[in-house]
């Protein structure tokens, strides 16, 4: 699965990277200067420090943007590209003088140039670039975008996926029909439907998973695996609960929905999930409810975790319940609850 919009994943990665204290007192360096530092570094540590600083430095000029693009296009290393995209994400949104640069990149035939242009145009919400991003998103999808496809075809597909991801956030209402249409050719786009259009997409999952078309089936699973906002999980909880209890639905689809239900459940709702588990008419459905309970990380889940850790027929469920229990209450308490408390060593004879 291709990660949606490099810009967003790069921002998240950098947000979790603590500042380098050794650089905090150094004079601020521009993106252009940091590029020179990266290219001229004599060791991995020196280069890594410059790359990390680059990821926290905003480009402020056309020269800076050009420096970022040169790094992005010259070196296909995923970690470096993520840092470059993180820097690009810091560009001031009121920088209309930089829009023509991204238009130029979007007009180039190379996928790397187009991908860089998409991210820059999205950051600026450039009206000049929007038609070009839309044109990339509307391209006919290359039939084979699997890992076995030739590299060039996969790069073209990655760029198109990036364009559809950007447009889904830029013009969500206008993009939904296009994304639905394109997802009929490649099920990977189901992830974007789930990520950005969860409330509109959830009702379609039963139909897709029951379809005889493998693309529809996979699209349903991709959509169900998308990370959704807590408010979307709450708004669609009743629908998801109904699907969890539907024994005619695919088990893997229900399992992925169970993760969303469990993570968004209150303690009282976990109690209700346990009651549904105990009343389930078949083992598969009980396992689906158990999954929702286990991921809730609620203290109310402890009794069911103990039950599964002691008596579940499947070793994977016993081991999983044990691990969750230890994570929730600690090793010593888990051992006590499971009746495995190590007896104290006898006192030494005097």
- Give pLDDT < 70 ranges for the chain: 1-27, 143-149, 341-350
CA atoms of 209 and 127, how far apart (whole Å)? 38
pTM listed for this prediction: 0.86
**Predicted pLDDT at 141:** 87
**Predicted pLDDT at 244:** 97
CA atoms of 325 and 289, how far apart (whole Å)? 17
Would you list the DSSP string of 97-138? GGHHHHHHHHHSSSHHHHHHHHHHHHHHT-TTTHHHHHHHHT
**Predicted pLDDT at 18:** 45
**Predicted pLDDT at 342:** 57
Contacting residues for 34 by C-beta, under 8 A, at least 6 apart: 50, 53, 54, 57, 67
**Predicted pLDDT at 149:** 60
- Domain extent listing, the chain: 231-340
Q: How many helices (H) and strands (E) does the chain have?
A: 22, 0
CA atoms of 21 and 8, how far apart (whole Å)? 25
pLDDT digits (tens, 9 = 90+) for 212-259: 999 999 999 999 999 999 999 999 999 999 999 999 999 999 999 999
**Predicted pLDDT at 14:** 41
**Predicted pLDDT at 154:** 83
């Amino acid at each position: 699965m291709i990660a949606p919009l490099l810009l967003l994943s790069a921002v998240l990665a950098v947000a979790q990277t603590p500042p380098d204290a050794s650089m905090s007192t150094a004079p601020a360096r521009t993106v252009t200067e940091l590029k020179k530092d990266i290219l001229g570094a004599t060791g991995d540590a020196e280069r890594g420090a410059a790359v990390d600083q680059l990821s926290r430095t905003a480009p402020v000029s056309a020269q800076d943007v050009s420096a970022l693009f040169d790094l992005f296009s010259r070196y296909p290393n995923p970690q470096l590209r993520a840092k470059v995209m993180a820097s690009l994400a810091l560009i001031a949104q009121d920088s209309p003088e930089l829009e023509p640069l991204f238009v130029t990149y979007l007009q180039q035939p190379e996928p790397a140039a187009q991908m860089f242009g998409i991210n820059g145009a999205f950051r600026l919400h450039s009206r000049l670039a929007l038609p070009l991003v839309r044109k990339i998103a509307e391209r006919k999808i290359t039939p084979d975008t699997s890992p076995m496809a030739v590299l060039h075809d996969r790069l073209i597909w990655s760029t198109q996926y990036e364009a559809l991801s950007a447009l889904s956030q830029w013009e969500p209402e206008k993009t939904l029909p296009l994304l639905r249409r394109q997802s009929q050719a490649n099920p990977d786009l189901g992830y974007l439907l789930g990520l950005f259009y969860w409330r509109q997409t959830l009702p379609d999952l039963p139909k897709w998973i029951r379809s005889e078309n493998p693309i529809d089936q996979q699209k349903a699973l991709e959509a169900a695996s998308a990370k959704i906002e807590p408010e979307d999980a709450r708004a669609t909880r009743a629908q998801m609960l109904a699907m969890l209890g539907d024994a005619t639905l695919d088990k893997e689809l229900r399992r992925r929905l169970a993760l969303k239900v469990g993570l968004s459940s209150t303690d009282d709702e976990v109690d209700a999930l346990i009651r549904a588990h105990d009343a389930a008419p078949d083992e598969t459905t009980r396992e689906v409810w158990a999954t929702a309970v286990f991921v809730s990380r609620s203290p109310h889940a402890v009794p069911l975790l103990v039950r599964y850790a002691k008596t579940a027929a499947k070793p994977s469920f016993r081991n999983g319940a044990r691990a969750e229990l230890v994570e929730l209450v600690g090793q010593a308490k888990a051992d006590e609850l499971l009746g495995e408390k190590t007896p104290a060593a006898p006192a030494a004879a005097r």
